[in-house]
Structure formats: structure tokens, C-alpha cells
Chain A
Amino acid sequence: MADASIDWAALYQKHRNAMYGVAYEVLRGSGRVDLAEDAVQDAMHSLMKAPPKEAPKSWEALLVATAKRRALDMIRSAAMTRGVGYSEEYAPVALPTGEDDVLERLEKIARARSAIARAHLDNQESFVLAQYIVADRPRVDVAADLGVTPARVSQISTKVLFKISVAVEEGGTDGFRKPGRRDCGDP
């Protein structure tokens, strides 16, 4: 039964990026990011069907943790279908699914996003980040696009990762959420 006092549309619009992000990350462990849409959809259906009796500490944490649990269910189900043990599936961020843990992970991801913006990457480095590290395109193709050797792409890639790693550790810029902080504007 949908609770009319909760504006699900507003909440979903506000937090859907985080829901998808966590679902993608969990499902990537078993190479099934294509199931993220189903995981998010199931999460919303279950929440709307059985909304929390009291306002949660953070709607974002509740929505994202629910999406994460649904994504995990899908990994388990896919593992059973293939006849492999769940433990054989690789899901480094799959557990735990507590709301504070989810917020902590979101905080870390937000920190990385901000770090990339602050890492002062040049055009070549930005290209390697986007095409090789994020889009997972073959290194030889990326090298050909840049007109360099694959070994040079390796060097650039390590340099980019090093810069981002340093920027993440330095942290402390705008836009970071504190884990467990109540969402501004949460009903």
C-alpha cells in the first residue's frame, strides 16, 4: 500500500543516481550491470509497498541500501542459475548492506568524483581515464586513438590513478557528505 504522505517521485528524483551507482557497482562483480534497472525498480516497488513506519534517519541511505540488497539478490539468483556458489561471485562492495555502510561508500565515491575534478588531468590523461579506466576499452584501441604505444597508455593510466589516489586522500573539498548525516530536505 503506497503511503500518500511520502513523495516518492521527489525522493526518487533526488536519489536515483546514488541508487543506480550502488546497483551498478554491486552487479559489476558478476559482470551483470545490465540488471541495475531491475534492481532499482524492485527496490522502489518494495519500498512503496511497505514504506517505513517512521521517517528514516536518511532517505538516501534507505533507498540506496534497498537497491543494494536487491542487486545482491540478483547476484545470488544468477549464481544459483549458473550452478556456482555465491562465494565464487566476486562482489567486493557487496557486503555489508547497512545504511551507514552505504552512506560511507557514497561518501567515498563522491570524494573520488571531486578528486577527479581536482586532479588537473591534461587532455591525454582525461582521455585515458574516460576510455581505458572507466569505459574499459582495449588498451591498444585507446593507444591508437591517442597515437601512442600501449605501453605509454599504461604509464599514463598509472599516473592518472596516482593523481586521483592522492587527491582522494587529500580530500576536504566542497560537496562531500558526512556519513550518516541526515539528508537536507528529507521529509
Chain B
Amino acid sequence: MVSESRDDEIAEILDARAGRPALASGAELLTAHPEIRKLVETADLAWASQQSAPPLEEDPVAAMLGLVPDPETELDGKALATARKQSGLTVSGLAAKLTVRGWKVTSKDVFAWETGRNAPQMPALIKALAEETHVDADRLRRRAGEDPERARLANVVASAAFKSLAERWASIQGTTVALASSALESRMVVAVHRGSPPEADVLIETLEAMVSAVESTDNE
């Protein structure tokens, strides 16, 4: 370990940096005392080790290359799954191709994207996926949050048939129409994400059957 005077000498060198490397100051001292030089070099190394690139959003090169996520657009997972299958690639095969290009992507990532989770919004990554699956990049993009199934459900919820069912369900449950509507919507979400998504009229029929069944039970 170094002595107290050495502490002061090293501190003087560090104090004199003014935005420059520590090795740039105290030349005489550094030449005469290799043990101080070593610690001063360590200070510069420690400084270098803590530097990193600016956030992607503030990096002009990242923006130019399409690395800044576009909050308006995201990968369409279903379209990706279709394109991947059509190009004869497995999930792991696609992940491997992206890795070779330099992307840090695992099979787990691709699987998550295809099942509608963690949809990437990075245009450059969507472009890479399109190139590897041989489709136009626009076919793999959709407006963010624009899940087609959700959009279809929104149409069903807005229908007169659904509103009528919500009123009946509210009456049965002794709750508000808004809460009843929310409950029926949740019931539809479960149906939509279980196997092949049913058509809108089938969804209404299913809800109608459920509401009627409970109504008749109550009447009995």
C-alpha cells in the first residue's frame, strides 16, 4: 500500500485532470514513481471502463440505421409466423440466421414475438426478419397495439347484440352494465386465445347461450 504523502500526490494529479486523462498531468512524478504511475493508469482505465454509448434515442447513427424503436409500429407476430413457415424455417433456424447477422436473438424471443408477446418496434430488426423470411417488411408490420383479435373484439363489443347481452348480464348479476360488459369481454378474450379464434357471430352466440343458461337457472 502507498503512504499518506502518496495519497496526496495521487489526489493532486487527479485534481488537475480538468476533463483530461490523469496520465496527462504530473509527468515528472509519474516518471520517478512507477507505483504512482500504475495507480494513475488505473484511474484512467477505471474512467474508460465506465463509459458507454448514449441512449439509442439520442444516437443519430442508431436513428439512421433504424435501431430506435418506433412507438407507432410493431412486428406482427402472426404475419411473422406465417412468413417463417412459408420460407421453410423453424423458430430456431430463424433465430440462428439473425444471430449470424449480428442480432442477439434466441428461439425464445422468436417464439414470444410469434405469440404476440414483446413485439419488437425496431424497424431494423423487422427489416432483418423480412429479409430472412423473404417477404416485404411492410407485411410484417402493424400499428402498435393494433392486435387484429383485439380489434375484432372491439367491433363485437360495439354491436347492439353485445350491449343487449351486457344489460341482461347486469340484471342477472345485480351489477352495472359497464361491469357486466367488461366481464363478458373478458370471457371473449379467453375464447379468442384458446385455439382457433372464433368468428364474431360465434362469439355472440356463445355469450347468448351463457347468459340464457344463467337466466333460466335463476328463473327456476
Contact = CB atoms under 8 A, between A and B. Distances in A.
A28 interface: yes
Nearest to A20: B53
A25 interface: yes
Interface string B25-65: 00000000000001110111111111111100001111011
Contact of B53 (A7, A19, A113, A185): A19
Given A19-B53, A132-B14, A29 B45 contact: no
A30 B15 CA distance: 17
A24 B51 contact: yes
B7 A158 contact: yes
Interface residues of A, number: 57
A40 B61 contact: yes
B102 interface: yes
Given A12-B65, A37-B54, A153 B11 contact: yes
B133 to A, nearest CB: 15
A66 interface: no
B88 to A, nearest CB: 21
Interface string A56-91: 000100000000000000000000000000000010
Given A151-B8, A168-B42, A7 B62 contact: no
Contacts, number: 164
Q: How large is the interface on B (under 10, 10 to 19, 20 to 34, 35 or more residues)?
A: 35 or more
B194 interface: no
B199 to A, nearest CB: 40
Given A10-B101, A10-B102, A16 B62 contact: yes
Contacts of B135: none
A132 B47 CA distance: 10
Centre residue among B15, B48, B62 by max chain A CB count within 10 A: B48
Interface in B1-29: 1-2, 4, 6-8, 10-11, 14-15, 17-21, 23-24
Given A11-B102, A16-B61, A59-B102, A162 B1 contact: yes
Contacts of B45: 108-109, 112, 164, 168
Contacts of B2: 158, 162
Interface string A162-182: 101100100000000000000
Nearest to A136: B17
Interface in A131-147: 132-134, 136, 138-139
A112 B128 contact: no
B213 interface: no
B101 A155 contact: no
Contact of B62 (A13, A110, A151): A13
A155 B1 CA distance: 11
B65 A8 contact: yes
A33 interface: yes
A20 B49 CA distance: 11
Contact of B102 (A20, A109, A136, A187): A187
A3 interface: no
A7 B130 CA distance: 13
B104 interface: yes
B53 A31 contact: no
15 contacts: A8-B65, A9-B67, A9-B125, A12-B62, A12-B65, A13-B67, A13-B124, A33-B19, A90-B23, A92-B23, A108-B45, A116-B46, A136-B19, A157-B10, A159-B1
Sorted from nearest, which 8 A-B pairs have the closest CB atoms? A10-B102, A9-B124, A154-B11, A112-B49, A90-B24, A20-B53, A9-B65, A113-B49
